[in-house]
Amino acid sequence: MLSKKILMAEDDEEDVDIFKQVLTDLTVHVNLEVAANGIELMVMLEDATVLPELIFLDLNMPFKNGMVCLQEIKANHQWKNIKVVILSTSSHQDQMKTAYEKGADFYMIKSTSYTDFKNAVAACLEKQAVNRT
């Protein structure tokens, strides 16, 4: 069975490591590619021979923030159907509303609790029917 392709745009290496550990703990089989900033993410999408099914997108990144990336993804006819999960430390309602208005499929608040974060990632992946053992 082929693995699902997931992109993660995250500039914090510790958050990337935690995400990878969550995938391991969930026994999820995915092809994860990580962009360190928004510009890198957009280049990865432009160069992709196989588009991702899901993008986990940090809002606060250098060079090009996640909200700008979200707008560009949803405005592109080839990418607009890719599911985008916003990752943010902010629970500000206006920011969440804006993300959904711009096309986010899910807004995930980065939790300080590993279990809460793992459960939120699992919920996002289950909606995408990612292969699990």
3-state secondary structure of 120: helix
pLDDT band at 56; cut points 50, 70, 90: very high
Candidates 10, 112, 101; CA nearest to 61 is 10
Q: pTM of this prediction?
A: 0.86
How far is it, in rounded angstroms, from Cα 42 to Cα 24? 26
The dihedral over CA atoms of 69, 130, 113, 82, expressed in degrees to the nearest 10, equals: 10
Q: What is the pLDDT of residues 75-122, one digit of tens each?
A: 999 999 999 999 988 788 998 999 999 999 999 888 778 888 888 888
| Domains, in order of start, for the chain | 1-59+84-93+104-111 (3.40.50.2300)
